[in-house]
């Protein structure tokens, strides 16, 4: 075991020069560190550069004491997203392919034959990176010449403020949304919203279309505008939405459910009636005016037909098959006495 006495233990508080501040070591008469005016003048408020960094514009790079623009796309300084040389589309979709133009096209052909949307999207981005001059409209025209299954359809549909539309060249804020489809027309009429009316219109739209990516610009939760956060919103703070409240579906009251409601139950539709006496106060199962049951074989009210001890009266029996009286419809078989030739019929055949 090591000798504890030989350990070189440094004191918790080293003596501090007077110019750096009067910090009193622990164990002295005053255990509370005293802060000099040098540190008391420090402000905890964010600088202008730090505030702009929170809004996506510039960040306060305090190296050398100067604020520098900060890019949220490449995480570099000296410029913003608008002036960044990194392709926003390829960066957002993590396109790292190093294929040449021929290899990328072969991969695109193979993906189209497989009709795999994930492979098609990946191969499309790889080809656009290998051939920098590729545009959406030129690629769609190439698809049609080569008889591809894939269609690039530019749809008109809204996107959130937190997203933007970027084309192959990295240009932001495009107008139409590019989608991968296996047909030039929607498969269902209810899905035709936003589709171009013709292939010619689709080509025109593709010139102003892009893929949905994160705009990297914060959206204020207070006013709903992009470019700043709710902390720095210049508008008056809006009260947050009310918390979820329990509402009774019976009386529309707040604070309880229908199972705990004391209000009288509402009966939807017409009131239910007893099919025996026609009263709305009860159902037939609770009716006190039920008629006495009589035996269908001997008309006795003391028992039912299944309990009757009299011989079967076949004249009262109606065939369920041919609706003939006296015919049992089962070849005249009596469950109690066996075959009965008197009740035997042809079963309607």
Residue by residue, DSSP assigns 131-199 as STT--HHHHHHHHHHTT-S-EEEEE-----TTEEEE-TT-----SEEEEEESSSS-SSGGG-TT--SSH
**Residue-wise pLDDT tens digits, 285-340:** 888 887 777 888 887 878 888 888 888 887 778 787 776 776 666 555 555 555 55
Is 331:343 a contact under the CB 8 Å cutoff? no
Angle (CA) 173-134-132 rounded to 5° is 90
What is this structure's pTM?
0.47
How would you label 254-273 residue by residue, b for 16+ Cβ within 10 Å and e otherwise? eeeeeeeeeeeeeeeeeeee
Query: Cα–Cα distance between 303 and 296 in angstroms, integer?
Result: 10
- Strands in 209-214's sheet, in edge-to-edge order, are 151-155, 176-181, 209-214, 163-166
Rounded to whole angstroms, the Cα distance separating 224 from 238 reads 11
Per-residue pLDDT of the chain (349 residues; tens, 9 = 90+): 444 444 444 444 444 444 444 444 444 444 444 433 443 343 334 344 444 444 444 443 333 344 677 777 777 788 777 777 777 788 777 888 888 989 999 999 999 999 999 999 999 999 988 998 899 999 999 999 999 999 999 999 888 888 889 888 888 889 999 999 998 888 876 666 788 989 999 999 999 999 998 887 788 888 888 878 888 888 888 776 555 678 898 888 888 998 999 988 776 667 778 888 888 888 888 888 877 778 888 878 788 888 888 888 877 787 877 767 766 665 555 555 555 554 444 444 4
Burial of 108 (C-beta count, 10 Å sphere; 0-12/13-18/19+): buried
* 7: Cβ contacts below 8 Å, ≥ 6 apart: none
- At 213 the pLDDT is 86
Nearest to 153 by CA among 117, 128, 129, 123: 117
């Amino acid at each position: 075991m090591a000798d504890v006495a030989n350990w070189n233990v440094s004191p918790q508080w080293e003596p501090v020069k007077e110019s750096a501040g009067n910090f009193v070591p622990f164990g002295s008469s005053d255990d509370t560190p005293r802060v000099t005016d040098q540190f008391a003048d420090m402000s905890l408020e964010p600088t202008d550069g730090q505030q702009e960094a929170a809004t996506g514009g510039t960040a306060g790079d305090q190296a050398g004491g100067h604020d520098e623009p900060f890019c949220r796309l490449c995480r570099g300084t000296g410029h913003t997203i608008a002036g960044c040389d990194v392709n926003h589309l390829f960066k957002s979709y993590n396109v790292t392919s190093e294929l040449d133009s021929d290899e990328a096209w072969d991969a695109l052909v193979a993906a189209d034959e497989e009709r795999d949307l994930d492979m098609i999207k990946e191969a499309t981005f790889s080809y656009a990176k290998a051939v920098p001059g590729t545009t959406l409209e030129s690629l769609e025209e190439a698809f049609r010449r080569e008889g591809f299954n894939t269609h690039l359809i530019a749809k008109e549909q809204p996107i959130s403020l937190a997203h933007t539309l970027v084309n192959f060249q990295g240009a932001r804020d495009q107008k139409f949304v590019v989608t991968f489809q296996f047909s030039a027309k929607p498969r269902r009429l209810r899905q035709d919203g936003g589709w171009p009316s013709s292939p010619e219109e689709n080509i025109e739209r593709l010139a102003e279309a892009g893929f949905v990516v994160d705009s990297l610009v914060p959206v204020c939760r207070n006013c709903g505008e992009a470019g700043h956060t709710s902390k720095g919103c210049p508008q008056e703070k809006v009260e947050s939405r009310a918390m979820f409240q329990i509402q009774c579906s019976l009386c529309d009251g707040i604070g309880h459910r229908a199972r705990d409601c004391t209000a009288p139950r509402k009966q939807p539709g017409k009131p239910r009636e007893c099919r025996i006496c026609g009263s709305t106060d009860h159902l037939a199962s609770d009716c006190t005016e039920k008629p006495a049951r009589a035996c269908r074989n001997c008309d006795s009210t003391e028992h039912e037909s299944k309990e009757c001890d009299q011989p079967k009266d076949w004249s009262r029996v109606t065939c369920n098959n041919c609706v003939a009286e006296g015919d049992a419809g089962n070849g005249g078989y009596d469950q109690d006495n066996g075959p009965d030739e008197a009740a035997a019929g042809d079963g309607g055949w």
